[in-house]
């Protein structure tokens, strides 16, 4: 088990439906990282922006973006994660892909479709919550609108890090910051939220406001509004475990079963 991990989040103004330009941007940012990194977190639909025209950009798991992620992971000896548009079995998915340093792939399909934008009409929802085991850490990866649903994020698996990646508009940015802190506090877990900046083709404005929060709800790393940049922090598992043991809040959680 590795007690501490260095987590990087990259906040970016995504180029609409242009995987080549977005991948070039993220690769340049990654190449400029100056210190050892264990995990890189990218925004939701980081190659395209939050598009409702998946037929324009969809890839399979064997195509360019996943291969690029594997190349980055192996070259830099870190894990990398972000969500992309995937076509599989005649369905489209908003799929979070997590690549280990070895190139091993794990994935999570967004559970809660953003009905306000019609996501449920074009993307198939996932039904499985996953826990990723990485360097002795248990990581729960979720996507954007999942943030509004605390039952889905509930820490019944004793995870150590909760990840949200998003295209969360500036009009509801207060909810983004408030709910990220709520999820961190109620689950006593490090929580990272990586959002995009800029304006998309539908004229929705995004301010970023990416942040990393500790298990008590304290901000330990943030990015400014509209900033294109890198969020960075070192997380310590023994400190989180000690507070969980001392306070014992997770021992009193309710148990439940989800029905789909």
Catalytic positions: 44, 110, 144
Contact in structure between 195 and 208 (CB atoms under 8 Å): yes
Alpha helices, DSSP H only, in 103-256? 119-122, 150-153, 173-187, 237-247
- Which residues lie below 8 Å from residue 121, measured CB to CB, with a gap of 6+? 52
Strand pairing report for 205-207 and 4-11? unpaired
Contact in structure between 150 and 253 (CB atoms under 8 Å): no
Contact in structure between 167 and 145 (CB atoms under 8 Å): no
Task: From 142, 139, 70, select the one nearest 103 (Cα to Cα).
Answer: 70
What are 142's two structure tokens?
């979720």
The C-alpha atoms of residue 184 and residue 210 are separated, in whole angstroms, by: 14
The C-alpha atoms of residue 23 and residue 108 are separated, in whole angstroms, by: 21
Q: What share of the chain is helix, strand, coil (3-state, %, to 5)?
A: 30, 30, 40
């Amino acid at each position: 088990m590795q007690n501490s991990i260095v987590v990087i989040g990259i906040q970016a103004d995504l180029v609409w439906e242009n995987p080549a330009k977005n991948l070039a941007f993220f690769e340049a940012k990654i190449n400029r990282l100056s210190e050892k990194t264990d995990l890189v977190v990218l925004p939701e639909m980081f190659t395209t922006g939050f598009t409702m025209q998946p037929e324009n950009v969809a890839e399979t798991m064997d195509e360019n973006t996943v291969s690029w992620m594997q190349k980055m992971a192996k070259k830099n000896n870190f894990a990398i994660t972000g969500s992309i548009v995937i076509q599989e079995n005649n369905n489209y998915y908003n799929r979070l892909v997590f690549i280990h340093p070895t190139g091993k792939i794990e994935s999570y399909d967004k559970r809660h479709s953003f009905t306000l934008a019609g996501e449920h009409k074009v993307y198939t929802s996932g039904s499985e919550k996953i826990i990723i085991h990485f360097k002795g850490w248990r990581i729960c990866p979720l996507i954007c609108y999942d943030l509004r649903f605390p039952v889905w994020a509930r820490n019944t698996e004793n995870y150590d890090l909760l990840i949200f990646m998003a295209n969360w508009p500036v009009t509801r940015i207060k909810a983004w910051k408030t709910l990220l802190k709520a999820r961190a506090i109620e689950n006593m877990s490090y929580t990272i939220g990586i959002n995009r900046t800029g304006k998309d083709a539908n004229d929705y404005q995004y301010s970023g406001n990416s942040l990393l929060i500790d298990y008590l709800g304290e901000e330990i790393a943030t990015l400014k509004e509209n900033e294109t940049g890198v969020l960075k922090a070192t997380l310590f598992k023994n400190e989180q475990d000690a507070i969980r043991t001392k306070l014992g809040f997770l021992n009193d959680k309710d148990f439940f079963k989800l029905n789909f």
